[in-house]
Amino acid sequence: MDTYSPSRKDARPRMVVGITGASGSILGLRMLAALRALEIESHLVITRAGRLTLHYETGLKPADVAKMADVVHSIDDVGACISSGSYQTLGMVVVPCSMKSLAGIVTGVTDNLLLRAADVVLKERRRLVLVARESPLHLGHLRNMVAATEMGAIVVPPVLAFYNKPETIDDLLDHITGRILDLFGFDTGRVRRWKDDSVA
Ligand SMILES: Cc1cc2nc3c(=O)[nH]c(=O)nc-3n(C[C@H](O)[C@H](O)[C@H](O)COP(=O)(O)O)c2cc1C
């Protein structure tokens, strides 16, 4: 009888990236670029509102963004590979994550692929990072963040850091992206860390 032999031993790790209609779509693009640099296979799914906001904020069309991901899934394709727990991924980052998608994830209303993929990541006890963006927050938003945390997700609002002396918007985006990937154990090499002079 054969021993256990991983079928993906030479394959790259995979990560699901969800982009929703919250402001900050540039962060989703930065995440895709960082995953490419780290040689992690990205699986992208964008909500309808996400496409609108992304175009509004960056001028990019879905086809431009598709080039930045390894695999692109339609939001309606609830039968895509990432909708099954048997499809192995490291987890998922929803960046940026709207309050609507946050609510959908918390309530388990999986009526689009992004919500289903997030639900799968939670049920498989993989890492789910929600870069929740809204301001100010009402009690319902806050309660949903508590519920997401109780369910095992990590809520990471894209809050700016200044201890690292950012000089440009790029610096701010690099820091946020790098700190999100820290949560998966990846070092982008672009986080200027407290009391660490190794990054110029
Ligand atoms: C330019 C723009 C910026 C928006 N910013 C936010 C935001 O920061 N947070 C949020 O929760 N919704 C924001 N919205 C509203 C969401 O796009 C809207 O609630 C949408 O239904 C979210 O759907 P989705 O989660 O399926 O993408 C924004 C909409 C637009 C057009």
Q: With both helix axes pointing from N to C terminus, report the angle between 99-107 and 113-123 in degrees, rounded to the nearest 10.
A: 50
Question: Residues with beta carbon inside 6 Å of ligand 1?
Answer: 20-23, 47, 49-50, 52-53, 56, 98-101, 133-134
Please tell me the predicted confidence (pLDDT) of residue 5: 60
pLDDT of amino acid 195: 86
- What is the pLDDT, as a whole number, of residue 167? 97
Q: What is the mean pLDDT of residues 98-119?
A: 98
What average pLDDT does this structure show over 62-91? 97
Instruction: Please state the domain extents for the chain.
Output: 14-188
The pLDDT score that the predictor gives to residue 6 is 61
Mutate to test the pocket of ligand 1, among 17, 19, 23 (most ligand atoms within 8 A of CB): 23
CA of 123 to the centre of ligand 1 (A): 26
pLDDT tens for residues 156-190?
999 999 999 999 999 999 999 999 999 999 999 99
CATH level 3 topology of 14-188: Rossmann fold (3.40.50)
pLDDT at 197 over 90: no
Q: What is the pLDDT of residues 124-148, one digit of tens each?
A: 999 999 999 999 999 999 999 999 9
